[in-house]
Structure 1
Amino acid sequence: MRAEFEIIQADEGSSFRLLHQKVSVGAFRWSYHYHPEYEIVVVFQGSGRRHVGNHLSYYTDGDLVLIGSNVPHAGFGYGTMDLHEEVVIQFKENFLGDNFWECQEMAAIKQLFERSKQGIAFHGETRTILNERFRKLLTLPHFERLIELLNILQYLANATEYTLLNPVDIRYNFSLKDQERLSKIYKFVEENFTQEIDIQVVADLANLTVPAFCNYFKKNVNQTFTEFVNEYRVNQACKMLLRGEEISDVCFHCGFNNVSYFGRVFRELKGKSPSQFRRIFAETNTNLSPT
């Protein structure tokens, strides 16, 4: 089975990504994918399908899984049979520096990362206790959130209530050359998404002709370069919309030169208009606020 390569972007003002969503049945696409980032999936409520590496099973009444770097997996919300609420945390191995995990204090977490190559499902009291800590994580400012993430990783490292989902290391073999090339392309988009992007410039950056670049990108990322740029711009637009900025300002700041086209692309990717997205997200956050 072919896995798609996914490019992850950290949250604004943070060194890692924290995604919180609460959705109804049928809202998730099935997508078997992989990325260099480690991933923690916390399903607070719901039941569905767990597909990590070669392991396929079903969970009920929530889940807590740590997935290693480049381990292929599918979204846990796919096939959910009821309301699904989850937190997903994604971080690169070097998100705190190249040698951070070499500190003796980090030895247990380093071993945890080694086990995560097989995918780890936590259960019992470990999952119950950490559910509350993950909810707390959502309310913290960036610095305290980082410290709490380290505390959670240490807790997981010392936990004994877990199951290894695969018998051997099942990471996706993605060449260093391709990782470096895609990272270079991604960085260029990150630095230039606010303006028009010339595909010839990007192809030159990848040392490919334009046709070869288009084929290469589609094959490895499973979307065209234009689709990728639009998706990146829309994700940036979401952040601006949630800060209360005007839709027209968001449109032009994110590299779109036409408000109606921006609205059409936004709706295609998010399933709703920019104004609907802002209103629904605000209502959802209010409903999910801790009591």
Structure 2
Amino acid sequence: MKIKKEEITIQPGKSFRIFTPSLRNYFFWHYHPEFELVYVEAIAGIRHVGKNISSFVESDLVLIGSNVPHLNFDYGLQTEYKQIVVQFKEDFLPNLIVPTAEFGDIRALFDKAYLGLSFYGKTKEQVVAKLKEIQSKDNFNSLLELFEILNIMARSSEVHQLNTEDTRIKMFMNDKIRMGTIYDYIHENYDKKPDVNDIASIVHLSTAAFCRYFKNQTNMTFTEFVNHYRITQAKTLLLKDHNVSEVGYAVGFESMSYFNKLFKSLVGETPSSFKKTILFTTN
């Protein structure tokens, strides 16, 4: 479960690979030299790119730079989902983009991708529509379509940078702790009372050393991460039309007032408002 280098094979005669992986039951914390564009369509999920750990609702579109560690976006999903992944040949940037003056905007997009770029709004809609069409085209036209996709993203202001610092693999080479063990522990215990002392012992660290390690890896305390995880799980249950009180207790909150307060601080609206808004827009 330590971080792994993914070996990517792209067919001869192609500059990129597009496919629909399904790894929801597999913790794949990995990196690769190839740039990657990921689209996931699900009720709710968690993205982990570099040091950023955050949640998404309904869908997510993220461009990930070369050698940036990331978790498979479908890890732990308990509902139906769709996923499209595009991986660019390792020499795609230096051989195709950099020498071509007309690709200046796309070059700038790739230059920022090491931070992890999440796209939303009309940009996401346009890109996803093209991603769903691209697989039916021949090699030449699929490449042209891909350049259109990159150009849309390169010129968009509907983008959020997931990290504020360089998180490429050189920053993680000395990491010997199994993040997968931590994720599994939280997933199994988030609705109970996850104990930082227990997980510290499981990964063979003192509690103080574990807390320092975890904060360094995620920019959150263990308690903050567990609460984020609980709220993400709560979103999934709310979108299945469970009532707010049931959801709060189901994800491990004993106080409904605290659940409502925390949900609003992290999501921007109360659980009941979130439920009404999403269910209204999807019906």
Scaled by the length of structure 2, the TM-score of the pair is 0.56
Partner amino acid, structure 2, of 1:14 = K
Partner amino acid, structure 1, of 2:37 = I
Secondary structure in 1 aligned to 2:67? Answer: coil
Q: Structure 2 matches for 1:275-290, cutoff 5 A?
A: none
Q: 1:142 to 1:10 in 2, by over 3 A?
A: same
Q: Which residue of 2 aligns with 1:145?
A: 142
Deviations, residues 85-116 of structure 1 (Å, cap 9, x unaligned) = 11100013423763642321111111101110
Q: Which residue of 2 aligns with 1:61?
A: 58
Q: Which residue of 1 aligns with 2:122?
A: 125
Secondary structure in 2 aligned to 1:14? Answer: coil
Partner amino acid, structure 1, of 2:20 = H
Structure 1 CA distance for aligned equivalents of residues 169 and 89 of structure 2 = 16
Q: 1:17 to 1:99 in 2, by over 3 A?
A: closer
Is the CA contact (8 Å cut-off) linking 1:120 and 1:164 kept in structure 2?
A: yes
Structure 2 CA distance for aligned equivalents of residues 99 and 124 of structure 1 = 28
Identity of aligned residues (%): 36
Is the CA contact (8 Å cut-off) linking 2:39 and 2:60 kept in structure 1?
A: yes
Secondary structure in 1 aligned to 2:71? Answer: coil
Partner amino acid, structure 1, of 2:105 = A
Output the aligned Cα RMSD.
2.3
Is the CA contact (8 Å cut-off) linking 1:65 and 1:121 kept in structure 2?
A: yes
Deviations, residues 129-186 of structure 1 (Å, cap 9, x unaligned) = 2111110112111111111111111111001001000001211129xxxxxxxxxxxx
Name structure 2 gaps, 5 residues minimum.
172-283
Q: Which residue of 1 aligns with 2:17?
A: 17
Partner amino acid, structure 2, of 1:8 = I
Structure 2 CA distance for aligned equivalents of residues 28 and 161 of structure 1 = 31
Is the CA contact (8 Å cut-off) linking 1:16 and 1:91 kept in structure 2?
A: yes
Q: Structure 2 matches for 1:32-181, cutoff 5 A?
A: 32-95=29-92, 98=95, 100-173=97-170
Deviations, residues 191-240 of structure 1 (Å, cap 9, x unaligned) = xxxxxxxxxxxxxxxxxxxxxxxxxxxxxxxxxxxxxxxxxxxxxxxxxx
Structure 2 CA distance for aligned equivalents of residues 155 and 11 of structure 1 = 26
Q: 1:139 to 1:146 in 2, by over 3 A?
A: same
Deviation at 1:43, TM superposition (A): 1.2
Deviation at 1:66, TM superposition (A): 0.1
Q: Which residue of 2 aligns with 1:247?
A: none
Q: 1:2 to 1:150 in 2, by over 3 A?
A: same
Structure 2 CA distance for aligned equivalents of residues 27 and 100 of structure 1 = 33
Secondary structure in 2 aligned to 1:62? Answer: strand
Q: Which residue of 2 aligns with 1:8?
A: 8
Scaled by the length of structure 1, the TM-score of the pair is 0.55
Q: 1:99 to 1:146 in 2, by over 3 A?
A: closer
Aligned residues: 172
Structure 2 CA distance for aligned equivalents of residues 84 and 125 of structure 1 = 21
Structure 2 CA distance for aligned equivalents of residues 103 and 153 of structure 1 = 14
Partner amino acid, structure 2, of 1:168 = E
Name structure 1 gaps, 5 residues minimum.
175-291
Structure 1 CA distance for aligned equivalents of residues 41 and 33 of structure 2 = 25
Structure 2 CA distance for aligned equivalents of residues 107 and 90 of structure 1 = 20
Is the CA contact (8 Å cut-off) linking 1:48 and 1:81 kept in structure 2?
A: no
